[in-house]
Homo-oligomer: A and B are copies of this chain.
Amino acid sequence: MKKFVQFALLPLMVTASLAAVAAPAAKPEKLIQWRQSAYRVAEWNVARLKAALEGQYDKEEAVAAANALEGIAGSGIESLFVPGTEQGKGWHETSAKPEAFKDTKRFAELSLSFSKEAAELAKLVPAADQSAVKAQFGKVTRTCKTCHDAFKGKD
């Protein structure tokens, strides 16, 4: 395994948002930590939105969570799944299936769906129409599940 993985090797440059010409070189451990961290932050903000929708809806809390989720979803996490990181430990052993490195087109498509639905959610939340927010939140979490089913093994 190479000690450093250049983002320039990236096989996922199928959309403009994934272009990574100038992105940092980093050790596989760090790349895996970054992607595990990004998904864990998504989990946090999904949990905040779920709690807001199930409890007393707090608009400011929901806005902060939705904006964070939009930023994470649009960050290009999939660009961290580069050759040399199929196995290995970040915070923990990677739970990515081999398919994440093989079917990169599908992975990029599902990542883009997550990004689009999260961006739409962030647009809706400030108006605080809870039924609209709830419906869109469902769309976001379905993109999570679809992608997990395809590309995520057990933690």
- Residues of A bordering B, CB below 8 Å: 16-24, 26, 33-34, 36-38, 40-41, 43-45, 47-48, 50-52, 54-58, 60-65, 67-72, 74-76, 80, 91
Contacts and interface: CB of A to CB of B under 8 A. Distances in A.
8 contacts: A16-B60, A23-B52, A23-B61, A37-B41, A64-B75, A67-B70, A67-B75, A91-B91
A58 B61 CA distance: 33
B72 A20 contact: no
A22 B71 contact: no
A24 B62 CA distance: 12
Contact of A19 (B50, B60, B70): B60
Contacts of A80: 44
A65 B33 CA distance: 16
A58 B91 contact: no
Given A34-B41, A38-B44, A21 B56 contact: yes
Contacts of A44: 34, 37-38, 80
